[in-house]
């Protein structure tokens, strides 16, 4: 059973989806710690409700960003996780952390990368009249939202759809595809090899997993 550490900053809805899949036995892993950079993140309550250890590292309590980064790095080192999951963690990992744990950290991003890295992806999709939107799960590298792709989940953008409705639908996709990918990693069916993702469910293909959703 793999040891999983989840990093959050807010509500923790993706965290809850992962907790549910671990508790049901669908994921062959155990969340050993939830780390938040916000004291008031609701995800902390979700973790505590499932008797999961929590750690809070608030950047405001450090003299510099460098000190914060070093504390986070040391914490992750001590937690000795098999898999580190970023689930709405709104801090960019520094180069030292990203490089040291490369192949162990995954992130979910609300766009079909390489389109729209960074913030405000739903607004950009609407403004640019995109026909499709989705989420991307990738290994974290030292470059923002640019690590090796693992999987993408896609939905059609409805005509005259509001940003709020689109965001709601994307969250539903996240809650389905993120636990599925984590399960595959914990079952050793997805891994990183020479900087590229390998998935054994497609006979060792190095192409990402693509899924379409009707939501």
Task: Enumerate the active-site residues.
Answer: 109
Across the strands, what pairs with 6? 34, 85
User: Which string of DSSP letters, residue by residue, matches 79-94?
Assistant: HT-SEEEESS--SPPP
Question: Are 148 and 195 spatial neighbours (Cβ–Cβ below 8 Å)?
Answer: yes
The continuous run of DSSP H or E covering 153 comes out as strand 149-156
Q: Tally Cβ neighbours within 10 Å of residue 111.
A: 22
End-to-end alpha carbon distance in the chain: 32
Helix or strand or coil: residue 135? strand
Q: CA-CA distance, 79 to 214, in Å (whole number)?
A: 38
| 181: enclosing H helix or E strand | helix 163-186
**Regarding beta strands 196-199 and 190-193, do their DSSP bridges make them parallel or antiparallel, or are they unpaired?**
antiparallel
Specify burial of residue 22 (Cβ count, 10 A radius: 0-12, 13-18, 19+): buried
Angstrom distance (rounded) from CA 42 to CA 26: 24
Could you identify the residue written with the tokens 């309590």? 61
């Amino acid at each position: 059973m793999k040891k999983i550490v989840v990093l959050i900053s807010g509500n923790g809805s993706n965290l809850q989806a992962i907790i549910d899949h671990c508790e049901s036995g669908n994921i062959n892993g155990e969340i050993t710690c939830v780390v938040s950079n916000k004291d008031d993140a609701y995800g902390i309550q979700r973790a505590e409700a499932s008797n999961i250890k929590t750690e809070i590292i608030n950047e405001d309590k450090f003299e510099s960003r460098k000190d914060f980064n070093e504390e986070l790095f040391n914490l992750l080192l001590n937690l000795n996780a098999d898999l580190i999951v970023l689930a709405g963690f709104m801090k960019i990992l520094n180069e030292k952390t990203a490089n040291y744990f490369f192949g162990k950290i995954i992130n979910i991003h609300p766009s079909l990368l390489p389109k729209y890295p960074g913030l405000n992806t739903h607004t950009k999709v609407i403004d640019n009249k995109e026909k499709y939107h989705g989420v991307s799960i990738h290994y974290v590298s030292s470059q923002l939202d640019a690590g090796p792709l693992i999987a993408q989940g896609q939905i059609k953008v409805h005509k005259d759809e509001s940003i709020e409705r689109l965001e709601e639908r994307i969250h539903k996709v996240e809650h389905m595809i993120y636990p599925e990918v984590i399960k595959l990693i914990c079952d050793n069916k997805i891994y990183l090899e020479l900087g590229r993702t390998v998935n054994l469910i497609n006979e060792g293909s190095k192409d990402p997993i693509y899924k379409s959703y009707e939501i």
